[in-house]
Amino acid sequence: MERIPILKLGDLLLVTVQVELHDQLALTLQDDLTNMLARTRARGVLIDISGLEIVDSFIGRSLGNIAAVAGIMDATTVLVGMRPAVAITLVELGMSLRGIRTALNVDKGMALLRESVDEPGATPSPS
Amino acid sequence: MERIPILKLGDLLLVTVQVELHDQLALTLQDDLTNMLARTRARGVLIDISGLEIVDSFIGRSLGNIAAVAGIMDATTVLVGMRPAVAITLVELGMSLRGIRTALNVDKGMALLRESVDEPGATPSPS
């Protein structure tokens, strides 16, 4: 069965989305990520979408759902590697990716997560 | 065009192979990785194949070529996340993945790379 691998990097999880996130794949990813968060007790999730040329409203919503579920599992999600064209399209479509923080690349996303995880009593702000 | 994203994690590069590495894709990956090594001066490359259910002789050879090219660019390659079934098949096929170091997962691969890069007597990078 097709699934997106989730990598453990220290106390963070990294998901690299390289294929169109269709319905079943998004649900499988959500399930796998939830299980992985429970097992590893990770506090941060990085989702890299540098491999995606298109982010439509379905993918945007799926990513939002995944971030929401991770949030309930006490983990902060940061979306990284968005291509400039994708960012422009999102704004043109009026999609705000509410509830998901973003960073330019994995390094910056990691720094952001470490900050927010280390902050005592920090509530993740929707960017 | 289809391509596999290469992520920069500090001074390492991470490649997550999730789709069958066909001919053109392997060549593109090799090109992209070489450019990325030149640009970032990274000293280590992690290739995660936890998403692959099958590693045949073509993929094995492609990974070997990529590791060899990275080696010439003064970077060490570590293959991580191999599924148990894949490891068994490789041995049964008599494929030794010569020239490629392996580690169980990304965390262990990173530790291995940091050790080998930090090794005293290692030639300093021109950064």
- What's the complex ipTM? 0.82
Residues 6+ apart with CB under 8 A from A43: A11, A12, A74, A75, A76, A113, A117
The whole-angstrom separation of Cα A75 and Cα A67 is: 8
Using the Cα atoms of residue B91, residue B92, residue B96 and residue B97 in order, give the sign of their dihedral.
Answer: negative
Structural domain for B105, as ranges: 6-118
Q: Is residue B124 part of a domain?
A: no
Q: pLDDT digit string (tens) for A51-62?
A: 999 888 888 889
Q: Is residue B125 part of a domain?
A: no
CB contact under 8 A, A48 and B106: no
Q: pLDDT digit string (tens) for A31-49?
A: 999 999 999 999 999 999 9
Q: Is residue B93 part of a domain?
A: yes
Q: Is residue A123 part of a domain?
A: no
Model pLDDT, residue B127 = 44
In this complex, is the C-beta atom of A40 within 8 Å of any C-beta atom belonging to chain B?
no
Q: Is residue B45 part of a domain?
A: yes
Domain total of chain A = 1
Q: Is residue B127 part of a domain?
A: no
Tokens representing residue A4 in the block: 């997106």
Residue A106 is nearest to which of B7, B19, B110, comparing CB atoms?
A: B7
- Single pTM value for the model: 0.86
Q: Is residue A111 part of a domain?
A: yes
Q: Is residue B95 part of a domain?
A: yes
The whole-angstrom separation of Cα B71 and Cα A92 is: 44
Which CATH number fits the domain that encloses residue B21? 3.30.750.24
H/E element, B87: helix B84-92
Strand order in the sheet with B12-16: B6-9, B12-16, B44-48, B76-80, B101-103
Q: Where are the alpha helices (DSSP H) in chain A?
A: 23-40, 57-72, 84-92, 106-118
